[in-house]
Amino acid sequence: MNATMMPYPLTLTHILERSGKLFPKTAIVSRMPDRSLQRHTYDDFYRHARALAEGLIRLGLVRGDRVATLMLNHYFHLGAYFGIPAAGGVVHTLNLRLAPMDLSFIENHAGDRFLTVDDVLLPLYEKMRAGTKFERVIVVPLTGQPVAKEFVDCEALLRESVNDLTYPDLDEREGAAMCYTSGTTGVPKGVLYSHRALVLHSLAMLFADCAALAERDVILPVVPMFHANAWGLPFAAPLVGARLVFPGPHLDPESLLDLAEQERVTIAAGVPTVMMGIADAVEKYAGRWKLLPGLRLMVGGAAPPEALIRRLDKHGIRLVHAWGMTEATPLATWCNPMPQMECWDADAKYEVRSRQGRPLPFVDLRGVGAEGEVPWDGKTPGELQLRGPWIASSYFNSPDEQSKWSDDGWFRTGDVATIDPDGYVRIRDRSKDIIKSGGEWISSVDLENALMAHPAVAEAAVIAVFHPKWQERPLAVVVLREGVTATAQELRELLADRFARWQIPNAFVFVQEIPHTSTGKMFKAQLRERFKDLSADAESHFACRCLDTMA
């Protein structure tokens, strides 16, 4: 066979080299725990990541070793994102909101050899320490306090490097990063990302019909760097030379908006709950922040209610919607209205924007029902299944966990969706959240979306509760905004316009707060447990009472 192109590997070291050569002066800004802003450049980052790689090799890292990070979103974590793979290792981001026991389970399962930890997170490390087997613990002295002798001081490790790193001869299929699912629906499972997957995923983020990331962008990843690679932003930004602005531990809406204003942020990313906080703040303090016109908020992880998209639009902030998962590096779809939709009326356009979007190039998707593949008719629900170069082919160190892959090799997402003829996906539920009433399926996501359009509703979750006749019936758990009220009857009437009678929740309960998972999603499993003894017909008894005060 004739030779075709060069066998040039798609590795993260190319991105690192490119950022150092082409964007040396571009800024990376990090908010530190003491609220001060630290400024670095891509030149600093380039040297830092290479020095870290050298240091890790001196400590004994060998190809394929996992190096865990227990770190906030900042410049030093970005250095680990690239320095560890540049040494031939795998950067394994640990979810610092998990319980210490879960963290030690994950560390053991992943077989991490080293840990890099922010000094401010040492108390958390101490809690998980007994169950872990790290050979060396590298401490990043964010506070400037001296590092205890039992640990490796990251600054000292970097200082000892002499800039003589030769990258290992990396294969693009080797592991470069690793992340465990946050365990919303089961035991956390590890996904090992190849260099190739991360590079291709980064390139996909540059498409105009995806995140359209470019050198002129200023990116604020609010999504934690332990949550599915911070949705790919830390890998894609150095590829194009976009400025990065990291929030550190200061994730309250006002701090984020201050940062966005001050650093002229063009795109920020986070889950709906974070963005609801942003919407509340811009409404409460109208005119306080002079944000860049056209600021985009990339939202995923859970479905943003359509009402949120509308609220933000009023303040010149554009919510852009994406869907993905840990097993998909994470992006699989992105929602942009098609050009011919521009002339649609406002309501129709908002409806499109609340969909999860169309598949990214090289992501194949299909919906599968009991009878096989479902048509792309926007009506027939099926389990969404994926295939592509950045979709996991197995879980790490779990040879028996094959049930998530179909016999013909597609990844079974566990999300129930409809796909319309243009290829727009609409997630209707996670299969574990589905409400089956008398054999008919009710979409909790659709009901939540409608409830959150009520001006008095801050957040709403709809869950299944047992019913002797219908097996399950929907129960709406509602958080009201401060100072306003809505009755169950009002909410029922709101839904009656859009839903069939049998789809409307039997009961509405009003609570102070809906619990969230470690990655900021509504924790429906916990709600189901809490309300499991509540009869779905208990409406009149429970309707207007605050269950939190009854506990």
Active-site positions read 181, 327, 436, 441
CB of 336 to ligand ADP, least distance (A): 14
Per DSSP, what are the bridge partners of residue 182?
none
Q: State phi, psi for 17 to the nearest 5 degrees.
A: -60, -45
Q: Which is nearer to ligand ADP, 195 or 426 (CB)?
A: 426
Distance CA 306, CA 146 (A): 49
| Choice from 55, 83, 85, 183 touching ligand ADP (CB under 6 A) | 183
Q: Is residue 238 a contact partner of residue 82, using CB atoms and an 8 Å limit? A: yes
The correct pick among 177, 427, 478, 504 for binding ligand ADP (CB under 6 A) is 427
Stretch that binds ligand ADP, among 118-126, 316-324, 347-355, 537-545 (CB under 6 A): 316-324
Residues 26, 132, 161, 356: which binds ligand ADP (CB under 6 A)? 356
Pairing verdict, β 190-194 and 114-118:
unpaired
Q: Rule CB under 6 A: is residue 444 a binding residue for ligand ADP?
A: no
The DSSP symbol for 433 reads G
Cis before residue 505, ω within 30 degrees of 0? no
Shortest Cβ 327–ligand ADP spacing (Å): 7
Q: Does 323 bind ligand ADP (CB under 6 A)?
A: yes
Provide the 8-state DSSP code for 147: P
Q: Which is nearer to ligand ADP, 218 or 322 (CB)?
A: 322
Question: Whole-angstrom distance between the N-terminal and C-terminal Cα of the chain?
Answer: 73
Q: Which of 325, 460, 522, 534 binds ligand ADP (CB under 6 A)?
A: 325
Token readout for 392 is 């996991």
Question: Is residue 93 at the binding interface for ligand ADP, with CB under 6 A as the rule?
Answer: no
301 lies in the binding site for ligand ADP (CB under 6 A): yes
CB under 6 A: which stretch of 53-61, 84-92, 135-143, 179-187 binds ligand ADP? 179-187
Among residues 85, 175, 241, 300, which is the contact residue for ligand ADP, using CB under 6 A?
A: 300
Binding mask 133-152 for ligand ADP (x = CB under 6 A): --------------------
Instruction: Please tell me the distance from the alpha carbon of residue 244 to that of residue 39, in angstroms, as a whole number.
Output: 10
Taking the least distance from each CB to ligand ADP, the nearer of 19 and 326 is 326
User: Is residue 216 exposed (0-12), middle (13-18) or buried (19+ Cβ within 10 Å)?
Assistant: exposed
Query: 337: phi > 0 → left, psi -120 to 50 → alpha, else beta; which?
Result: beta
What minimum distance in Å lies between the beta carbon of 264 and ligand ADP? 27
Shortest Å, Cβ 221 to ligand ADP? 15
95 binds ligand ADP (CB under 6 A): no
Q: Which residue has the tokens 């001060």?
A: 36
Q: Where are the alpha helices (DSSP H) in 209-252?
A: 233-240
Q: What distance in Å separates the CA atoms of residue 296 and residue 213, rounded to the nearest whole number?
A: 11
Structure letter (DSSP) for residue 357: B
**CB-based contact 134:106 (threshold 8 Å):** no
Q: Is 449 in the site for ligand ADP (CB under 6 A)?
A: no
Q: Is 182 in the site for ligand ADP (CB under 6 A)?
A: yes
Map the footprint of ligand ADP across residues 222-261, applying CB under 6 A.
228
Locate 20 and state its tokens. 């150092």
Which of 103, 158, 302, 320 binds ligand ADP (CB under 6 A)? It is 302
Q: Which amino acid is at 294?
A: G
Q: CB under 6 A: which stretch of 239-247, 320-328, 456-464, 491-499 binds ligand ADP?
A: 320-328
| Beta pairing, strands 425-430 & 411-419 | antiparallel
Contact range with ligand ADP by CB under 6 A, out of 34-42, 244-252, 298-306, 489-497: 298-306
Cα torsion angle, 491, 497, 498, 501, sign: positive
Q: Of these, 10, 15, 274, 303, which contacts ligand ADP (CB under 6 A)?
A: 303
Size of residue set near ligand ADP by CB under 6 A = 22
Which residues make Cβ contacts (< 8 Å) with residue 463, sequence separation at least 6? 433, 435, 444, 474, 475, 477, 524, 527, 528, 531
- State the residue number with the nearest CB to ligand ADP: 184
Reported as type and span, the H/E element at residue 275 is: helix 272-284
> Any contact of residue 415 with ligand ADP (CB under 6 A)?
yes
Stretch that binds ligand ADP, among 4-12, 23-31, 182-190, 537-545 (CB under 6 A): 182-190
Confirm or reject binding of residue 193 to ligand ADP (CB under 6 A).
Answer: no
Q: Which part of the chain contacts ligand ADP (CB under 6 A), choosing from 215-223, 250-258, 322-330, 339-347?
A: 322-330
Strand runs labelled E in 325-432: 331-334, 358-359, 364-369, 372-373, 382-387, 411-419, 425-430
Binding residues for ligand ADP, rule: CB under 6 A, are 181-185, 228, 300-303, 321, 323-326, 356, 413, 415, 427, 430, 519, 521
